[in-house]
Amino acid sequence: MIKDLLIESNRLIIRPYNIDDLEQSFQLMQSKELYEFLEFDLLPFEEYQGLFHWLVNSYEINLTEEFKYSFPIILKETNQMIGWCGIGILDFNKPEKEVYYLIGKDYWNQGFASEAMKSFIEYCFNALMQHRIVAKVNEENIASKRIIENLGFHFEYVIKDLPEEFSHCNGELFYSLTREDFVSNT
C-alpha cells in the first residue's frame, strides 16, 4: 500500500522515494539553514546515501509495526523535489504517530508546506486509517507553528523531562489532531 502512495494537490505530488531520487534528495538537504530546527545536521554523501536507502527500505515495514515513512514532495510544474513529508512512530511516546515535513529554502513562503501537509494529513486519516496524529514544533519555529495550527492541530503541552536519548525534543511544543477535528476544519 505505501509503495503505491500517490497524492496530488494543485501544485504538488507526494509519492514514495525511488533510487533515482538519491542525488536530488541529497542536493535538497545541502542548505545549512534547513537544520536550524532539526536534530541532525548536514551529512556527507556516503552517510546520506545510507539514510536514503533506509528511507526506501522503510516502505517494507507494515503499518501494524513501528514504522517511519518519508516521501518526497515534487513540484508538478518542474518535476523538482522541493521537500519531504512523513509519518512515523514518535519514539519517546509510543504508539503516537507523528507527522513531519521540510520544504527547501528556495520554496519557503509560497504555501507549499501547507498544501503538502493538508493533502498528506488527509491521506494519513483516510488511507492509513489513523485516528489521531501528533506534531512537535520548536517554539522558535514560527512558520511551522503557524502551519500546524492552521491545519487544525491543538496545542497540548511543552515537552519536558525526556531522558537523554530524546533530550533534543525537550522544550518543543506538542500538538495533536484527530480525524474528527480535521474533517470538521476542512
pLDDT tens column, 4-42: 899 999 999 999 999 999 999 998 887 766 655 556 556
Query: Is the bond leading into 16 cis (omega within 30 degrees of zero)?
Result: no
Q: What is the CATH number of the domain that holds 12?
A: 3.40.630.30
| pTM, two decimal places | 0.92
pLDDT at 32: 66
Q: 94 is in which domain, residue-wise? A: 2-185
Instruction: Please tell me the total count of domains within the chain.
Output: 1
Q: Does pLDDT of 152 surpass 90?
A: yes
